[in-house]
Amino acid sequence: MSLVSVLLLGFVFAAAVLALAQAPPEPKEAELAEKFELCLEELAEQLDGIAGVGIKDLSTGQEFYINPDTVFPQASAIKIAVLLKLYAEAQAGRINLNERYTVPAANFTRGSGVLRELGDSSVTLSWRDLAVLMIIVSDNTATNVLIDRLTMDGVNDLLARLGFTHLRLNRKMGEYIGEAAMRDSTATPREWVNLLERLQRGELLDPEHTRDLLDILKKPKQSRLRAAIPASVPVANKTGSLPGVRCDTGIVYLEGRPYILTISTTYLKNDEDGGDFIEEVSRLAYEYFARLANSNPYGRRVR
């Protein structure tokens, strides 16, 4: 071997050693993620019922799932789909969100909400006002008025066009007896994650309608998912509950590490266990993403 070749090999070797010395150590995020996933699975195993969880890191695309493609009843969480259809119609110019509509007292629906408490008085509200009531107090009357305006087929046709198979509005609110009790609105964790990610990225609506829709979802409401997250962190979500069912779905706007979180529970022996599970998973997810958001690539907290 010539002297030039020897010198060249020596130079290459030295450069490689220097590069290795300067390269940062392999991040331990993968190990942290494995521990997080294990904790999720343990929580789901301990629940006396069936759980579905979908989590997506909107910064990196990393996902965590429990029963991702299992179909779960959604109760009032399906109102997100009704809200999306309303805003799609508004964007298309077929609905003016500020147009006012008089809700007859005869249309007041039992179950959650405030409109049914008005007794024999009709009430006049804008379509946007009805949407706000549907989301922040889960008003069943407001929801049914919107479903009548949008039609159930209209909501489901939109969901089908977006590629969803199991995300469906299958009955109006307050229909809890007879044949209607055998039907429930449904979704899978993976479909909720997909819908919310596309919504957040502005792929479903224009910027103006996307922003207003998310602003409605961010309005304060009773929520076990929300209860586990500091008040300073915005959360755009909707809850749902029925006997044996608890669910909550939304986007958590943690600075530097926003994420989607959807949690569904069914076949609950004790309904309160479903709420506890949602809060515990939400707390676990927040602590995981906050740790990543507040650490440098080596894991040292920087804020």
Q: Which of 184, 284, 268, 274 is nearest to 229 (CA)?
A: 284
Q: Over 145-202, what HEC string results?
A: HHHHHHCHHHHHHHHHHCCCCCCECCCCCCCCCHHHHHCCCEECHHHHHHHHHHHHCC
Q: Please give the pLDDT value at position 102.
A: 85
Can you give the residue range of the structural domain that contains 115? 28-293
Distance CA 79, CA 248 (A): 11
Q: Please give the pLDDT value at position 111.
A: 63
Whether residue 149 lies inside any domain: the answer is yes
Whether residue 93 lies inside any domain: the answer is yes
pLDDT tens sequence for the chain (303 residues): 554 443 344 443 444 433 434 444 456 788 899 999 999 999 999 999 999 999 999 999 999 999 999 999 999 999 999 999 999 999 999 999 999 988 877 676 666 666 666 666 778 899 999 999 999 999 888 999 999 999 999 999 999 999 999 999 999 887 655 555 557 999 999 999 999 999 999 999 999 999 999 999 999 999 999 999 999 999 999 999 999 999 999 999 999 999 999 999 999 999 999 999 999 999 999 999 999 998 888 888 888
Whether residue 241 lies inside any domain: the answer is yes
Q: Please give the pLDDT value at position 6.
A: 39
Buried b (16+ CB within 10 A) or exposed e, 223-244: bbbbebbeeeebbbbbbbbbee
Q: Please give the pLDDT value at position 299.
A: 83
Q: Please give the pLDDT value at position 302.
A: 85
Instruction: Quote the tokens at residue 151.
Output: 């039609």
Q: How many domains does the chain have?
A: 1
Number of neighbours of residue 7 by Cβ within 10 angstroms = 10
Q: Please give the pLDDT value at position 13.
A: 42
How big is the chain by its Cα radius of gyration, in Å?
A: 24
Q: Is 39 exposed, middle or buried (0-12, 13-18, 19+ CB in 10 A)?
A: middle
Instruction: Quote the tokens at residue 144.
Output: 């049914």
Distance CA 93, CA 266 (A): 39
The enclosing domain of 60 has a CATH number of 3.40.710.10
Angle at 223 (CA atoms; ends 256, 275), nearest 5 degrees: 110
Whether residue 130 lies inside any domain: the answer is yes
pTM: 0.87
| DSSP H helical ranges for the chain | 3-22, 29-46, 79-91, 127-136, 140-150, 152-161, 189-200, 207-217, 224-227, 271-293
Q: How far is CA 261 from CA 64, 143, 211, 269, in A?
A: 10, 23, 19, 23
Whether residue 99 lies inside any domain: the answer is yes
Q: Please give the pLDDT value at position 11.
A: 42
Q: Please give the pLDDT value at position 122.
A: 78
Whether residue 302 lies inside any domain: the answer is no
Long-range contacts of the stretch 161-167 (C-beta < 8 A, 24+): 162/195, 162/198, 162/204, 163/194, 164/191, 164/194, 164/195, 165/191, 166/71, 166/191, 167/81, 167/191, 167/192, 167/195
Whether residue 56 lies inside any domain: the answer is yes
Q: Please give the pLDDT value at position 183.
A: 74
